[in-house]
Structure 1
Amino acid sequence: MKFRPCIDIHNGSVKQIVGGSLSDKGDMAEDNFVSQQDGGYYGELYKKRGLTGGHIIILNPAGSQYYNADVEQAHKALAAFEGGLQIGGGINNENAKNFLDKGASHVIVTSFVFRNGEIDEHNLSLMKRAVGKERLVLDLSCRRRGDGYYIVTDRWQKFTDTKLCRETIERLRDSCDEFLIHAVDVEGKAHGIEEEVAAMLGGIDGMPATYAGGIASFDDLAKLKELGRGKVDFTIGSALDIFGGHMRFEEVCDFGKK
C-alpha cells in the first residue's frame, strides 16, 4: 500500500477541485485550493521524498484557452522528477510519446479508449502500439449510477455504459501496466472513501491499482487498507496540508512506507 502523490492542473494552475464540479463549458470547476507554486515545485518535492508513481492530471481539454498553460505546468513537473511521474488528461496515440520524451514514466488514458459508451479495442491497440503495455495506465474513474459504478470519460463528465466490475478489470488487465481509479462522486470532498470501489480493487491480484477520492483521515487509510487487503495504493489531494488540508504530508509519506 503505497502513497502515490498527485499534481492536478486546471486553468494553468496546480490546484485541487471538487471532481464532480468540473465542466468544459467556461473552464469551470469548484476549487478547494489554488497553489501559488508551480508544477516544478511539486515535482521536486515528490522527488526528494522518493514518491515514484504519482500522477499529473491535465484537467482542461485540448481546445481550451488554458490547455497550453496546463501543459507548461506539466512539463515543469516532469522535468523536476524525470521518470517519477505519470501523466493523464487528453492523452492519445499521437501525443503520448511527447509526454514520455518529456520525462513521464507512463501515460494515463481514459477517454481515448472508451468511445460510444464502451471499450474501443481499436484505440486501445493504437495506444499499446504507441507506448507499449508497460508504459500505459488505464484510468477507470467511476461514478455511481443505478445498480453500480460506471466508468466516466471526458474529464469525468460523461458516463459510459461500461460498468466497473471484476469482468471489466479482467478484460483490460493484459492491456496495461496498472490501473488508476478516481471515485469521482467523493473526489475533492474529503468526506471518506467509496468503500465498494475500494473493496472491488482489493480483489485484483497481481496488478497495481491506485485509489483516489475522499480520503480525509488516517482512519480512512486504515479502512482502505482493510478493504483493499493491503494491495491498493492511494492518492490524497485536498486533505493534504500542501494543498490547504489538515493531513500532514510528512505523516502520509511515513504511512505509505510502513
Structure 2
Amino acid sequence: MTQFRPCIDLHQGKVKQIVGGSLNDKGAKENFISEYNAAYYASLYREHGLTGGHVIALGKGNHEEALSALRTYPGGLQFGGGVTARNAAGYLEAGASHVIVTSYLFKDKEFSWDRLDKIKRETGVDRLVLDLSCRRTEDGWYIATDRWQTITSMPVTHESLTELADHCDEFLIHAADVEGLQAGIDEELVSLLGQGCPVAVTYAGGARSLEDLKRVNDLSNGIVDLTIGSALDIFGGQGVTLDDCILWNQAQSA
C-alpha cells in the first residue's frame, strides 16, 4: 500500500521548499525557508519511525547539513545530490541507508551503463536508488538532470523502468514540472509508475493534501509511495499535517 515518505531538501545550506522547475545557478523560487536545520527534521522523522525518506542537496553549500541529518538518523534516510562513484561509499558510511544518483549516470545527455556499473561496485544494488526525475515533453516523460534543467535522451517508460530495475533497489521520481507548485500530482505519470514497476518507487511533485495519498494509492494499486513537501505543515504548508501522514502510514501498515 502507498506510504508517505518524508524529505529534507537542502538549498544554499538551509532546509527549503522550492519550485523545482525554477532551480538554476542564480537560485530558485522559494516556497519556504526553515528556521530549523536538517538534523532537526531527521530527529523528527526518527522519533516518529518514518523510514525511506530522502535528503536531497540541491547545488553546493549543503554538505555539512546533509551529513548532520544522516548522522542524526543513521540508516533512516537516503541521500542524493552530486553522488558519484567516488563519494557514494562515504555517504553510506556517514549513515545513509541508500545513495540516490542521477546526473552522474549521464554524459552529454546519454545514459552511461559504464558509470552505472562503477557506482554499483561501490554501493551494491541493494543500497542504490536511481533518481529518474523527469520533465514532460511532446513525446512523453524524459529524465532531467543538472537540477532538472537538462532533458536527457532517456525516456521514462515501462520498458526503461523494467530495464533499470535490475540495477537498483528503488526509484525516486520527481515530476519536475509540478514540483513545489501544490497544484496536484501528475496523475498520468503516477499511473505509469503503478503499471507493474519491478522495484519500490517514490513519486514527488504537486501533492497538496491527504487526498493525494489516497489518489496515488488508487492510481498505482498501492505500488507507488508519495513524498509531500511544500503542502506539509512542518514546511509552512496548510494542505496536510505530518500527524495526518503518520496516521495514514500506520493505517496502511495495519
Q: TM-score, normalised by structure 2?
A: 0.96
1:31 alignment counterpart: 30
How many residue pairs were aligned? 249
Paired with 2:142 and 2:81, the residues of 1 have a C-alpha distance of 19
Contact 1:136 1:178 in 2 (8 A): yes
Question: Who is 2:64 aligned against?
Answer: 72
Q: How does 1:149-228 map to 2 (within 5 A)?
A: 149-228=141-220
CA offsets per residue over residues 187-242 of structure 1, 9 Å max, x none? 00011000111001111344100010000012222211111111111100000000
Cα deviation digits, residues 113-136 of structure 1 (max 9, x gap): 122222200000001001111110
Question: Which secondary structure does the structure 2 equivalent of 1:112 belong to?
Answer: helix
Q: Percent identity?
A: 51
1:105 to partner: Cα distance: 0.5
| Residues 1-258 of structure 1 mapped to structure 2, 5 A cutoff | 1-24=2-25, 26=26, 28-60=27-59, 67=60, 69-246=61-238, 247-258=240-251
Contact 1:2 1:257 in 2 (8 A): no
Distance in 2 (CA, whole Å) between partners of 1:76 and 1:153 is: 25
SS in 2 for 1:175: coil
CA RMSD of aligned residues (A): 1.0
Task: For residue 154 of structure 2, give the secondary structure of its aligned residue in structure 1.
Answer: strand
8 Å contact 1:6–1:237 — kept in the other structure?
A: yes
Runs of 4+ in 1 over 6 A off after TM superposition: none
Structure 2: gaps of 5 or more residues = none
Q: Deviations over 1:121-153 (max 9, x none)?
A: 000000100111111000000111112111000
| SS of residue paired to 1:211 | strand
- 1:84, 1:204 → 2: CA distance? 26
